[in-house]
Structure 1
Amino acid sequence: MTEIVRDDNHSDGSPTVGGTGIRVENVADAYEYSGYSPDEIVDHYPTLTLQDVHAALAYFYGNSEEFDQLPKARNNDEEAT
């Protein structure tokens, strides 16, 4: 079973697909904004399984409020520099 994990020492604590280091956000962007199918995402990220992709998408859509806040936080960080 695919696990979505967080590690403050990796990917700035962003949720990643366990054992891969690939951010949930990257999988969701490939699906939603780039138009890749889950099978194409597996081709693009060979360390992912189809189960991993579906778990990442389920996490993304189940926690959308968390991801809605990410661009704001990044913009605030960029403005501070």
Structure 2
Amino acid sequence: MTRIKLRSITPPLNFDEAGGIRIGQTRVTLDSLLAAYQAGATPEEIVVQYPILTLEEIYAAITYYLTHPQQVEDYLEERRQIAQQRRTQIAQDNNLMGLRQRLLDRGQSKISNI
């Protein structure tokens, strides 16, 4: 009887300098791939959306997500929190609070000066 050797697939996930997880050697994040998957896209549709990825990389990343859901959800939650903190900091640093109203007021004053 001949034995068939199966190779295990290592998920093509790499951390970038900012702590994000990228797929393979690309700039596509795990966050982006999973957002498409969770929105109902199939791996075949995702490869059309991100042609730099291979179908094997997409399936491997999704398999990792499905077999490690808590770890991936913890990572995604941490990324959401970091993004929210950055948005808040940018708004504070650039005085964006009330920006819409200031722009509307400025537009109204220009109209009334005409």
1: CA distance, partners of 2:14 / 2:89: 28
Question: For residues 48-59 of structure 1, what are the structure 2 equivalents within 5 Å?
Answer: 48-59=53-64
Alignment TM-score, normalising by the size of structure 1: 0.79
TM-score with structure 2 length normalisation? 0.59
Determine the structure 2 residue equivalent to 1:71: 80
Unaligned runs of 5+ in 1: none
Identical residues among aligned pairs (%): 25
- CA-atom RMSD, angstroms? 1.7
1:4 is displaced (CA, Å) by 0.6
Specify which structure has the bigger relative contact order, considering alpha-carbon pairs within 8 angstroms and separated by 6 or more residues.
1
State the match for 1:3 in structure 2: 12
Q: In structure 2, list runs of 5 or more residues that go unmatched.
A: 1-8, 91-114
CA displacement at 1:64 relative to structure 2: 1.6
Alignment coverage as a number of residue pairs: 77
